């Protein structure tokens, strides 16, 4: 019987899956979210609904738990930093601050001599005008972006006025990579050179949202090894504790680029729940709660499909799935276009 209580900031599906993993390990969970309808409250032992800058509620939350983690990266640095003075926050607030800012994140990766897309900082319309060299490209907000939100694909400079870009935000402009494939590598780091790493996962996006993930990824040996090496290097450099995901691009000449890092469990790793002896969620809980590290074993090849918007409806009405399939309904009340509502994993 463990006496650990884990505090999780954020109440979406990743929070739900962390709560389920914690329950399996006999760890109690408290979810803190600013969304009264946060689906993770269906899976946690306790739920606190308050703004992320509500000092009093933040303090109450810290008092209740032994360890704190988070399931999304867009949390004010101040909040994590204050919490960290009360109870250990993993991954460290400084890691979150670095990664939640696309420019700082990309500068950090380049300093490690790891290839990223070409990018440039953009603060005004005037900054954009001379940047033909980066087109076609994608303009991305430096903070708060996810699932393609805050992104403007730009083919030529003449388009800029019609895009109604809000220059109160800061951006980076990234040169478009001629993509052959996208992959991700999920790693859980426990301590110095102590980690469990999953094999690369092949991802397909539609409208900048992840649609499906599968293992094995159809990639060559060099990319298989290089992507894992880079993920290990990044996790070690950050002295990271917990599960981290590195998203990669592969271009048509088989060059590998780091696209971005997620300082948390990741959508592309949902298949680890059914395809491995220990899921990315369980590994995260084990690492942040300083539990035993268990050698990772693959059970099966697998494919995961995200159920986006009303794609969940047929599964809610009449879930006809076979023995090798696992359906996850995130129990979100409102079905919205482009909203991740659930997923289906098929073991192969
Ligand atoms: P988010 O934070 O929303 O996940 P990403 O930067 O990962 O943002 O972009 C989402 C998706 O958009 C990527 O997975 C990829 O499919 C596409 N994309 C983004 N940037 C580029 C790029 N520079 N070249 C080609 N495709 C891109
Ligand atoms: Mg991404």
CB of 199 closer than 6 A to ligand 1? no
* Cβ density class 286-316: b for 16+ within 10 Å, e for less: bbbbebebeebeeeeebbbbbbbeebbeebe
Q: Does ligand 1 lie within 6 Å of residue 73's CB atom?
A: no
The continuous run of DSSP H or E covering 152 comes out as strand 151-154
Distance 55 CA to ligand 1 centre (A): 35
Check if 15 has its Cβ closer than 6 Å to any atom of ligand 1: no
Q: Which pLDDT does position 1 carry in this prediction?
A: 62
Q: Which of 78, 88, 10, 92 is nearest to 43 (CA)?
A: 10
Residue 140 CA: which ligand 1 atom is closest?
6
CB atoms under 10 Å from CB of 105, counted, come to 20
Confidence of residue 145 (pLDDT cuts 50, 70, 90): confident
Average pLDDT in the chain: 96
| Ligand 1 in reach of 176 Cβ (< 6 A) | yes
327 lines ligand 1 (CB under 6 A): no
- Which of 226, 185, 227 has the alpha carbon at shortest distance from 203? 185
| Closest-lying ligand 1 atom to the alpha carbon of residue 150 | 3
* pLDDT, average across residues 47-70: 97
Tell me what pLDDT residue 318 has. 77
Please tell me the residue having the least CA distance from ligand 1 atom 27.
176
For residue range 61-120, list pLDDT tens digits in order: 999 999 999 999 989 999 999 999 999 999 999 999 999 999 999 999 999 999 999 999
- Say if CB 65 and CB 6 are below 8 A apart: yes
* 107-136 per-position pLDDT tens digit: 999 999 999 999 999 999 999 888 899 999
User: Separation of 248 CA from ligand 1 center, angstroms?
Assistant: 10
8 A C-beta contact, residue 65 and residue 29: no
Q: Which pLDDT value is given to residue 2? A: 78
Choose which residue among 102, 105, 117, 148 to substitute to test ligand 1 binding: the one with the highest number of ligand atoms within 8 A of its C-beta: 148
Task: Answer whether 148 contacts ligand 1 (Cβ < 6 A).
Answer: yes
Q: Each residue of 5-18: pLDDT tens digit? A: 999 999 999 999 99
pLDDT, greater one: 167 or 240:
240
Ligand 2 centroid, distance to 247 Cα (angstroms): 7
**Secondary structure (DSSP) of 63-120:** HH-SEEEES-S-S-HHHHHHHHHHS-BSS-HHHHHHHTSHHHHHHHHHHTT--B--EE
Residue that wins the pLDDT comparison between 296 and 164: 296
The residue to mutate among 205, 258, 259, having the most atoms of ligand 1 within 8 angstroms of its beta carbon, is 259
Cα–Cα distance measured from residue 275 to residue 64, given in angstroms and rounded to the nearest whole number: 34
Strand partners, 216: none
Which band of pLDDT confidence, cut at 50, 70 and 90, is reported for residue 148? confident
Which H or E run includes 172? strand 171-175
Residue nearest to atom 14 of ligand 1 (CA): 208
Q: Which atom of ligand 1 is nearest to the CA of 203?
A: 14
**Ligand 1 neighbour 105 (Cβ under 6 A):** no
Atom of ligand 1 nearest to the CA of 176: 24
Going from the C-alpha of 56 to that of each of 32, 44, 86, 96, 330, the distances in angstroms are 13, 21, 13, 22, 29
Pick 274 or 147 by higher pLDDT. Answer: 274
How much of the chain exceeds pLDDT 70, in percent?
A: 100
H helices then E strands: how many in the chain?
Answer: 10, 17
pLDDT at 72: 93
Report pLDDT for 247: 98
**Helix, strand, or coil (residue 338):** coil
Q: Which residues pair with 100 in a beta bridge?
A: none
pLDDT at site 275: 98
192 CB neighbour count, 10 Å cutoff: 8
The 10s digit of each residue's pLDDT in 273-325 is: 999 999 999 999 999 999 999 999 999 999 999 999 999 999 998 778 999 99
Average pLDDT, stretch 191-207? 96
Query: ω into residue 91 within 30 of 0, thus cis?
Result: yes
Written as one string, the DSSP assignment of 31-52 is EEES-TT-GGGGTSSEEEE--T
* Distance separating alpha carbons of residues 202 and 36, to the nearest angstrom: 34
What tens digit of pLDDT does each residue of 28-39 get?
999 999 999 999
What is the average per-residue pLDDT within 153-172?
91
Q: What is the separation, in whole angstroms, between the first and last Cα of the chain? A: 35
Per-residue pLDDT tens over the stretch 221-263: 999 999 999 999 999 999 999 999 999 999 999 999 999 999 9
């Amino acid at each position: 019987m463990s006496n650990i209580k884990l505090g999780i900031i954020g109440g979406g599906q990743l929070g739900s899956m962390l709560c389920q993993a914690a329950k399996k390990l006999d760890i109690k969970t408290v979810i803190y979210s600013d969304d009264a309808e946060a689906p993770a409250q269906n899976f946690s032992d306790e739920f606190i609904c308050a703004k992320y800058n509500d000092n009093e509620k933040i303090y109450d939350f810290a008092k209740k738990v032994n360890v704190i983690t988070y399931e999304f990266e867009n949390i004010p640095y101040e909040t994590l930093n204050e919490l960290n003075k009360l109870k250990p926050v993993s991954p460290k607030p400084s890691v979150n601050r670095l990664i939640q800012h696309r420019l700082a994140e990309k500068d950090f990766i380049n300093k490690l001599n790891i290839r990223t897309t070409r990018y440039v900082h953009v603060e005004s319309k005037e900054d954009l005008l001379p940047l033909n060299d980066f087109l076609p490209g994608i303009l991305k907000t430096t903070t708060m972006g996810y699932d393609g939100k805050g992104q403007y694909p730009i083919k030529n400079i003449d388009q800029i006025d019609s895009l109604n870009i809000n220059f109160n935000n800061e951006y980076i402009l990234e040169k478009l990579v001629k993509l052959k494939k996208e992959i991700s590598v999920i790693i859980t780091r426990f301590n110095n050179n102590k980690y469990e790493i999953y094999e690369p996962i092949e991802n397909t996006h539609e409208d900048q949202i992840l649609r499906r993930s599968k293992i094995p990824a159809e990639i060559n040996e060099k990319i298989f090894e290089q992507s894992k090496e880079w993920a290990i290097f990044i996790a070690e450099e950050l002295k990271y504790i917990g599960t981290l995901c590195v998203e990669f691009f592969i271009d048509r000449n088989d060059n590998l680029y780091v696209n971005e890092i997620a300082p948390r469990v990741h959508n592309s790793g949902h298949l680890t729940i059914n395809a491995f002896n220990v899921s990315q969620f369980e590994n995260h809980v084990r690492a942040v709660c300083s539990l035993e590290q268990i050698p990772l074993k693959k059970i099966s090849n697998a494919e995961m499909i995200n159920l986006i918007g009303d794609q969940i409806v047929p599964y809610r009405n009449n879930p006809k799935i076979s023995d090798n399939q696992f359906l996850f309904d995130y129990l979100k009340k409102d079905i919205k276009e482009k909203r991740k509502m659930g997923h289906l994993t098929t073991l192969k």
